[in-house]
Amino acid sequence: MENDSNTVLPKHLAENQLTETTQDALIAKLGSGRRNKYARFILAALSSIPWIGGLLSAAASLSAEKEQGEINDLQRMWVEEHKQRTKELGATLGDIFIRLDNFGEEARKKIESPEYLSLVKTAFRSWDAADTEEKKQMLKRLITNAGATNICSDDLIRLFIHWIDLYHETHFRVMKEIYRNPRCTRARIWDSMSAQRPREDSAEADLFRYLIRDLSVGGVVRQERETDYQGRFMKKETKDSRDAGSRTMESAFEDTKPYVLTELGKKFLHYVMDDIVPQIGAVAESK
């Protein structure tokens, strides 16, 4: 899209400088002075957000209609509504670029690779669709850390993006509790989330069972198990059915079986909930 130097934006748009009539102008603004350095990153992010194209077209159309004195009020309202979204996008990109500026040359090469830019598209597509600020922050950390470290493969980064899309904030609360207190039981996890325990047949207990089951099936958490020297899980000894003394099923808030994060779950939290991760090459240099 070519830049037209004669294009005049409506005054209320020009003053705020939140929308532009050309893609180049928008890249320059969102790049915050880093246009050349992160142009590919910005293009990848913009190309994944559906409303960006519509915003550029609407702003250009408003400019043309302004000259003719025929401004569509509905179109103007739509552009106004996207001011805050554009501002939020710019702030997110700015935060990412500040961190990426601190990484070495190897990281700089990685963030310009087609593979990484593909991750940027996927991450910002999810970022735009995220319905909470927590998820947006997690996606921002994930794509930033993915550019700074090679601990996880690109396929795992895509899986982590899927987890952020899939899971609810309550899932993340369970993950955080197990992360902070490894080997905690379901009873301790619940007590960290609520002041009192509900009945076993309550909706709250059903929800808690669902959360634990969801994360267990998804490969994020598991019950602690012994392993042999090769890392193989040892089978638990089966109890004689004649020793079964209770007629009730296991409590949703069982307090004897410890839970831990899987190795995959640890990597996920390391990427999305810790602001600092080892830079590319740091692990190798430490050996």
Task: Give bridge partners of residue 227 from the DSSP assignment.
Answer: 233
Please report where in the chains the tokens 């899987």 appear, as a residue: 262
- pLDDT for 80-104, tens place per residue? 666 778 889 889 999 998 888 888 7
Tell me: do 30 and 139 sit in the same domain: yes
Work out the average pLDDT over 50-76.
Answer: 57
1 with 24: CB under 8 angstroms?
A: yes
- Residue 54 pLDDT: 58
* Separation between Cα atoms, residue 90 and residue 31, nearest integer Å: 8
Does 37 fall in a domain? yes
- For residue 287, name the pLDDT band (cuts at 50, 70, 90): very low
23-37, 68-82, 141-155, 171-185: which has the highest mean pLDDT? 171-185
CA angle 53, 58, 62 (to 5 degrees): 155
The segment with the largest mean pLDDT, out of 81-95, 119-133, 218-232, is: 119-133
pLDDT value for 24: 60
Identify the residue with better confidence: 143 or 52: 143
In a domain, 239, yes or no: no
pLDDT the model gives residue 123: 97
Q: Please check whether residue 278 lies inside any domain of the structure.
A: yes
E strands, 9-152, are: none
Whether 130 and 181 map to the same domain: the answer is no
53 within some domain: yes
**pLDDT bracket for residue 245 (50, 70, 90):** low
* Average pLDDT estimate for 27-45: 74
Specify the 3-state DSSP secondary structure of 251: coil
Whether residue 95 sits in one domain with residue 177 = no
95/254 Cα distance (integer angstroms): 42
Q: Are residues 79 and 184 in the same domain?
A: no
245 found inside a domain: no
Is the domain of 208 the same as that of 273?
yes
Statement to judge: residues 128 and 181 lie in one domain: no
Domain that holds residue 87: 11-150
The CATH number of the domain holding residue 194 is 1.10.10
Cα gap 13→15, rounded to integer Å:
6
Domain end residue (candidates: 89, 122, 150): 150
Residues 121 and 193 in one domain: no
Q: How far apart are CA 216 and CA 208, in angstroms?
A: 12
Rounded CA gap, 146 and 16, in Å? 33
Query: What pLDDT is attached to residue 27?
Result: 63
pLDDT digits (tens, 9 = 90+) for 249-268: 899 999 999 999 999 999 99
Write down which residue in 119, 150, 181 finishes a domain.
150
Domain membership of residue 243 (yes or no) is no
Determine the pLDDT at residue 82: 66
Q: Is residue 234 part of a domain?
A: no
Strand, helix or coil for residue 218 = coil
In 3D space, the residue among 270, 280, 1, 274 whose CA is nearest the CA of residue 113 turns out to be 280
Q: What predicted TM-score, i.e. pTM, was given to this entire model? A: 0.78
* Interval 187-213: pLDDT, tens: 999 999 999 999 999 999 999 999 999
Tokens coding 64: 């043309």
Per the structure, the count of domains in the chain is 2
Can you say how many angstroms the Cα of residue 227 is from the centroid of all Cα atoms in its chain? 32
Indicate if the pLDDT at residue 174 is higher than 80: yes
Select from 121, 150, 179 the last residue of a domain.
150
Task: Based on the fold, state whether residues 102 and 224 are members of the same structural domain.
Answer: no
233 or 136, higher pLDDT: 136
Give the residue, 30 or 35, on which the prediction is more confident: 30
Q: Look over the chain and give the mean of its residue pLDDT values, rounded to a whole number.
A: 79
Q: What is the model's pLDDT at position 72?
A: 55
Q: Is the dihedral of CA 34, 270, 170, 221 positive or negative?
A: positive
Based on the fold, state whether residues 141 and 17 are members of the same structural domain. Answer: yes
Domain-embedded: residue 27 = yes
Residue pair 234/191 in contact (Cβ under 8 Å)? The answer is no
- Answer yes or no: is pLDDT of 8 > 70: no
Pair (225, 281) in one structural domain: yes
pLDDT band at 57 (very low <50, low <70, confident <90, very high): low
Q: Tokens representing 30?
A: 């969102």
Backbone angles phi, psi at 245, to 5 degrees: -100, -25
If asked whether residues 179 and 127 sit together in one domain, one would say no
* pLDDT number for residue 201: 95
| Residues 279, 176 share a domain | yes
pLDDT score at 62: 53
Q: Which amino acid is at 233?
A: F
